[in-house]
């Protein structure tokens, strides 16, 4: 396995100073219903209200601000068509850096438009994610652009970790923090803060049952290939990279437990979040509430649940809140 590396509390404090004023300090809101359910205060960290609709803006902004002058001149490039792409495009525009997002011709128009709306150049190449990645590699090699990945990068992890600093200030009595997990950048940063400042806090990661890469890799004891499957929590899809150096080890060392939730529990949590909490979240943003509702976390005490994103197709959201148990695995 390649050497592992970590991100420290100091890195995250530095990130917070760097991105201050460029990202929102998102509010926390108590959930009366979920507090009654578990018998202890439950507070929702409303990170889906972040600019660009997810926390990915924090890491992207920190990473762009840390570029050298030469790197800034040549620009940044990425492949994500989802929340990382949006965050990166926005962060680059705000700091006056060129940004190219490469994607295949199969990416749906609404996603392409979402990225364009944030001011990125979109380059459509080939018919697969691999074709898009090949174009990124070419831009890095031929034009000296900098590739910024969604989680495997110290500046990205440090940026996401700034949520942990806010949680400690907003909820000093916190005992358990529940965090959605895909590649593990968010939970690694949040856990690095809490385990340094308040080691007794429990950090629980939540993923969907379908294609939970970090969960399967931790069980295997090393990064392994995990097949990506369709899921309502689409922002949690994808692998953790076989050459993972940061998040696999940080999750192993800092996270207390990883739990999984079913598709129907995710749909139920999106519905609850809308009807009761009056918030619009995407599937990935709802998995923490789904885990609490499914009673997957024993005696959590004072709990903060990170609602990580809100970028959901509104027609899909409408069907879910109308009570349909949408099964994207059959569509």
**Residue numbers at the binding site for ligand PLP (CB under 6 A):** 54, 56, 83, 150-151, 180-187, 235-236, 282, 284-285, 308-309
Give the shortest CB-30-to-ligand PLP separation in angstroms. Answer: 22
Give the shortest CB-207-to-ligand PLP separation in angstroms. Answer: 9
**CA–CA distance from 149 to each of 22, 77, 109 (Å)?**
20, 9, 22
Give the shortest CB-237-to-ligand PLP separation in angstroms. Answer: 10
Residue placing its CB nearer to ligand PLP in the complex, 41 or 251: 251
Residue placing its CB nearer to ligand PLP in the complex, 177 or 181: 181
Residue placing its CB nearer to ligand PLP in the complex, 41 or 150: 150
Residue placing its CB nearer to ligand PLP in the complex, 244 or 293: 244
Residue placing its CB nearer to ligand PLP in the complex, 34 or 255: 255
Q: 3-class SS at 163?
A: helix
Give the shortest CB-38-to-ligand PLP separation in angstroms. Answer: 22
Pick from 83, 26, 42: which is nearest to 291 by CA?
42
Give the shortest CB-169-to-ligand PLP separation in angstroms. Answer: 22
**CA–CA distance from 253 to each of 5, 69, 222, 256 (Å)?**
12, 35, 13, 8
CB closest to ligand PLP, residue no: 309
Residue with tokens 């009761």: 276
160 and 184 Cβ atoms separated by less than 8 Å: no
Task: Spell out where the chain has E strands.
Answer: 28-30, 42-45, 76-78, 99-103, 121-124, 146-147, 176-180, 202-208, 257-261, 303-306
**CA–CA distance from 175 to each of 29, 178, 204 (Å)?**
16, 10, 11
From CA 74, how far away is CA 80, in angstroms rounded?
19
Residue placing its CB nearer to ligand PLP in the complex, 105 or 117: 117
Give the shortest CB-233-to-ligand PLP separation in angstroms. Answer: 8
190 and 164 Cβ atoms separated by less than 8 Å: yes
């Amino acid at each position: 396995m390649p050497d592992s590396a970590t991100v420290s509390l100091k890195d995250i404090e530095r990130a917070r100073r760097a991105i201050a004023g460029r990202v929102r300090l998102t509010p926390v809101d108590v959930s009366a219903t979920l507090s009654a359910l578990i018998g202890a205060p439950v507070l929702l960290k409303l990170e889906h209200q972040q600019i660009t609709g997810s926390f990915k803006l924090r890491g992207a902004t920190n990473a762009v601000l840390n570029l050298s002058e030469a790197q800034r001149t040549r620009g940044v490039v990425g492949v994500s068509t989802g929340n990382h792409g949006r965050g990166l495009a926005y962060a680059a525009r705000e700091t006056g850096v060129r940004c190219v997002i490469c994607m295949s011709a199969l990416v749906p128009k609404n996603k392409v438009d979402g990225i364009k709306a944030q001011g990125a150049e979109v380059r459509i190449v080939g018919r697969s994610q691999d074709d898009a990645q090949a174009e990124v590699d070419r831009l890095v090699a031929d034009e000296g652009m900098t590739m910024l990945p969604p989680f495997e990068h110290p500046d990205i992890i440090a940026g996401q970790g700034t949520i942990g600093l806010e949680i400690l200030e907003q909820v000093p009595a916190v005992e358990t923090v529940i965090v959605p997990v895909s590649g593990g950048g968010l939970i690694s940063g949040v856990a690095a803060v809490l385990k340094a400042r308040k080691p007794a806090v429990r950090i629980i990661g939540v993923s969907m049952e379908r294609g939970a890469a970090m969960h399967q890799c931790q069980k295997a004891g090393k990064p392994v290939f995990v097949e990506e499957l369709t899921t309502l929590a689409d922002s949690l899809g994808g692998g953790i990279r076989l050459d993972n150096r940061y998040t696999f080890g940080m999750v192993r060392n800092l996270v207390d437990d990883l739990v999984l939730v079913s598709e129907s529990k995710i749909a139920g949590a999106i519905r609850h979040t809308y009807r009761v909490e009056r918030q619009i979240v995407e599937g990935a943003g709802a998995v923490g509430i789904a885990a609490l509702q499914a009673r997957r976390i024993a005696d959590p005490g004072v709990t903060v649940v990170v609602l990580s994103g809100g970028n959901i197709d509104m027609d899909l959201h409408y069907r879910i809140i109308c009570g349909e148990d949408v099964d994207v695995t059959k569509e």
